[in-house]
Each structure stands twice: as structure tokens, then as C-alpha cells.
Amino acid sequence: MYQLAAFAEQAFAGNPAAVVPLETWIDDALMQSIAAENNLSETAFFVPVVDSEWHIRWFTPAAEVNLCGHATLATAAVIRSRLRHDQWPITLNSASGPLIVDTAGQGFVLDLPTDPPHAVEIPDGLAVALGVAVDELLAGREIYVMPMADQGAVAALRPNFAHLAAVVDYGIVVTAPGAEVDFVSRFFAPALGVDEDPVTGAAHCLLTPYWSARLGKEKLEARQISARGGHLICENQGERVRLQGAAVFFLDGKISV
């Protein structure tokens, strides 16, 4: 098993993910137990299919999810640096379809499905859970998006996570124009066992088309302003979103079960 910080240029930043290479799939319950033991926002497991192609799955401490950007980035780093794979791009088959990953200098570019958010009704109790008035709410396939006035409002948010888990069954990203980048965000998913995710690739599948339309530009610079923080370059390509970032290794180890 490997642990890396994704969407980071240095240790102790970005989003930590565990990556477990497998020769064949192991029992789902065992993968979930490993993810719970790791207690990171995501643990990725992957198995080889053919040359330059793997199958990938992601688990939070509480559940399997259909898409995770930062653990996909971490998996690509393991494939390049630890498996010594030198033929790029690669394909990672997933519950969200094939994901293409290419190298970009010392980092990587993820090609992910876009998830344009649309206006939805505001659930009862959301304002109480977030501790602020909710004037506008959008949603993609699974994730809510709540625009806020400015970066300071996003940074000051202090949700009640127990209440939020009862109202939002997957996750919610709050976002605003950035002071030094195009936009900033924070992502909360207490129902999945992740109160606040440090950097969330899947959320940027919604944020990229949203801010692309709002700002009138296809390429955007983003920062997720969690305590660890993370930096992303996002590009809107219509049906796909390209996210660029780097990953830093923290540990190499072996699992004993």
C-alpha cells in the first residue's frame, strides 16, 4: 500500500489517499475494512486489465463511491513511480466509465466526465446544518453545489456535521470567486464518513462547467481552501473535464490482514 498527497506540490498539503495495487480483486468487505482502517477520505484499489489499462475502485471509510479524482491522481503516480510504467496515457476503467490519465511534467492530467449542476430545491434543514442562509442550490448526479458571495464566506463556514449528514446523503461543495485564483471551494461529506475533504476532484467535475459558464473562460485556476489546501488547473471540454495536479509520496508499506 502507498499513501500520497494528491493535488499537492509538497508534503502535508493536498488530499491524502491510499493506493492498493492488486493482482486480482479481493472481497468487497475486506476492501471496505482496509479503507476504514486507513481512515483517509479515499482508498483506491486497482487491478490490471491489459497493457496501459487497469480497473479502479474507490472506498471512503464508510462506503464505495463512483468517482474520486484525487485517489485517481494518486493511483497514476503509483503506476508511474512504483510500477515503473512508461507508456502514457493510461486508461482506468471505473464505475464512472473509462478515465484517461496522462503525464504533465512531474504531474498528471485527469480526463473525467463532466457533471454540470442544475438548480434544485433546497432541502429542509440545510441552512441550519451549514449555519448560514442558503439562497441558491444546484446539484449534479450526486453532489450539491452552493455558491457563496466571496472567499471569506467560504472560509468562515462551520457546518454542524451531524445535522449535515442527516440532510445530505452524499456531499456538498460550497464555492465562491477566489481572491487570487478563479474560484475557491470546500467540500463536506459527513454521510460518507468524511466531514471535510481536503481536495475533491469529483467536485471539480461540477465546479469546472459552472465557473466556466459564469466567468466565460474554458481554463480555470482553482484552490480548495481546506486546512491542508490544494491547487488545481481545470479545463472545460464540454462532455469532459481535465484536471491537472501533482502528487507527493508519503509512505510505502505492506498490509497485514
Picking from 22, 11, 62, the residue whose alpha carbon sits closest to that of residue 44 is 22
Where helices occur in 39-160 by DSSP H, the ranges are 69-81, 126-130, 151-156
Q: What is the DSSP letter of 123?
A: P
Cα 47 from Cα 45, distance rounded (Å): 7
Task: Count CB-CB contacts under 10 A for residue 201.
Answer: 27
Asked about 53 being catalytic, the answer comes back as no
143, amino acid identity: I
Cα 186 from Cα 161, distance rounded (Å): 14
Q: Which of 42, 64, 196, 221 is catalytic?
A: 42
Instruction: Name the 3-class secondary structure at 38.
Output: helix
Cα 103 to chain centroid distance, Å, stands at 18
Catalytic residues: 42
